[in-house]
Amino acid sequence: MTLRPHQEKVFHWSQARPRGLIVSPARSGKTYMMAAIAKEFIFQYAMPVGVLAPTNETCDQCYKSMEKFGIDMSFVEIRCPHSSVDFSDKELVLIDETKHLCSDLWFNCLRNRRPRYMFGFDATPFKDFDDERNQRLLSIFDEQIITIDRSEISDSQCEARVVLSDSTDSNLGDQIDFNTEKLVGIRKRFMRIPEGELRAMCLWQSIIDIGIVNNHARNQQVIRWAKTHPGEQVLALVPSVTLGEQLEAQIPNSMCVHSKLGSKKRKAAMDSFRAGDLKCMIATSLADEGLDLPNAKVMILVSGGRSSQKTIQRTARVLTAHHSKDGAIIYDFKDTFHPLAAKHATLRQGIYKELGYSFA
């Protein structure tokens, strides 16, 4: 396998230090970089390698990349983190979606022992408004970090155009606020968390349930957008399986894909989508990490939210340059039905501008 210039840059950087965090945009070939590093360490030292990846799909991508590099897989163990994973005997650990390493579940896979060599990969490792957590993540890698700029992978990405809609049912703001107070009254009896945190949690749930899942006008717009592109691959991201199944029933040649569907059915759906047979995939948070659908051209962002991590990762799913498309289209909402939802929508628009997306 021949590495591209930015991948060579990361490879040589990794050879000069025992650990480090690689921040590289989605679609930059992170699993290829991981495979190149693993192959070199196995060739030089014949050391056992552990790979942590968040889903079965991302584990499969890592495995295929390692195979393409001709790696002896008897040296490599690729796992999703759970309580039985023990990488304490691995000399080299490679981590996909490193943002999760601050969680006990992930870090415990190392059994509180940092391996001799460790490299983490992520497009968006740092969390908004949480400097303490971000510094903790950096410290795990001895504050060794390399960042690949989007301009370095421009040949692998297409241009993106954003289309915004203000479609919404009317008078939802009062319903959301009323439901929020109701939830706070119920939950404060048994949830021992600060009231401000509890209120924020209940408000966001009310926005999802009333402002998105049960917002008829908004969801009709989603259906119209999907039907506008019958000959193209559409990826719609939803906040709940319930809404996904409702949309599936009204969008021709569509399927709702989620974590409870089962790995075989998920794989079959993704293969059908990549082949162009399934035209619209409706996905939950399953699509936030490691979803490889290079022919997806249209994204409908039904799920809302303000997280820059998720916005960057989600929209990157349709940015891969592919012979079947001349650009990507991202549909989103202004979400004026509630001040908080509108604020989140404005923040997403700012992220689009920073990423260089154009607006219709």
Q: What is the pLDDT of residues 283-341, one digit of tens each?
A: 987 666 667 788 999 999 999 887 888 888 889 889 888 888 889 999 999 999 999 99
SS3 93: strand
CB 163 within 8 A of CB 331: yes
Q: Residues 64, 163: one domain?
A: no
- Output the 3-class SS for 292-316: CCCCCCEEEECCCCCCHHHHHHHHH
**Structural domain includes residue 209:** no
Q: Residues 49, 140: one domain?
A: yes
**Structural domain includes residue 181:** no
Q: Helix and strand tally (H, E) in the chain?
A: 12, 13
Strand order in the sheet with 298-301: 254-257, 280-283, 234-237, 298-301, 328-333, 160-165, 358-359
Cα separation, 349 vs 223, in Å, equals 22
Q: Residues 128, 231: one domain?
A: no
Q: Residues 296, 332: one domain?
A: yes
Which residue shows structure tokens 């301009």?
151
Q: Which of 104, 121, 150 is the last residue of a domain?
A: 150
Task: Fill in the amino acid letter for 85.
Answer: V
SS3 174: helix
Q: Residues 49, 19: one domain?
A: yes
Q: Residues 88, 167: one domain?
A: no
Q: Residues 223, 338: one domain?
A: yes
* Length of the chain as a residue count: 360
Q: Residues 161, 115: one domain?
A: no
**Structural domain includes residue 211:** no
* Structural domain for 350, as ranges: 157-171+216-359
CATH of the domain at 143: 3.40.50.300
Is the full-model pTM beyond 0.85? no
Residue ranges of the chain with per-residue pLDDT less than 50:
none
**Structural domain includes residue 185:** no
- Output the 3-class SS for 39-91: HHHHHHHCCCEEEECCCHHHHHHHHHHHHHCCCCHHHEEEECCCCCCCCCCCC
Q: Residues 123, 83: one domain?
A: yes
> Does residue 46 come out as left (phi exceeding 0), alpha (psi in the -120 to 50 range) or beta?
left
Number of domains in the chain: 2
- pLDDT for residue 150: 84
Which residues neighbour 163 within 8 Å (Cβ) at sequence distance 6 or greater? Answer: 225, 329, 330, 331, 332, 359, 360
CB 333 within 8 A of CB 305: no
**Structural domain includes residue 210:** no
Q: Residues 164, 232: one domain?
A: yes
**Structural domain includes residue 88:** yes
Cα separation, 75 vs 83, in Å, equals 22
- pLDDT for residue 310: 84
Q: Residues 119, 163: one domain?
A: no
SS3 254: strand
Cα separation, 342 vs 35, in Å, equals 42
Q: Of 100, 94, 335, give the one whose Cα is nearest residue 211.
A: 335
Q: Residues 282, 355: one domain?
A: yes
**28 is written with which tokens?**
């930059």
**Structural domain includes residue 195:** no
**Structural domain includes residue 237:** yes
SS3 25: coil
- pLDDT for residue 99: 92
Cα separation, 121 vs 148, in Å, equals 11
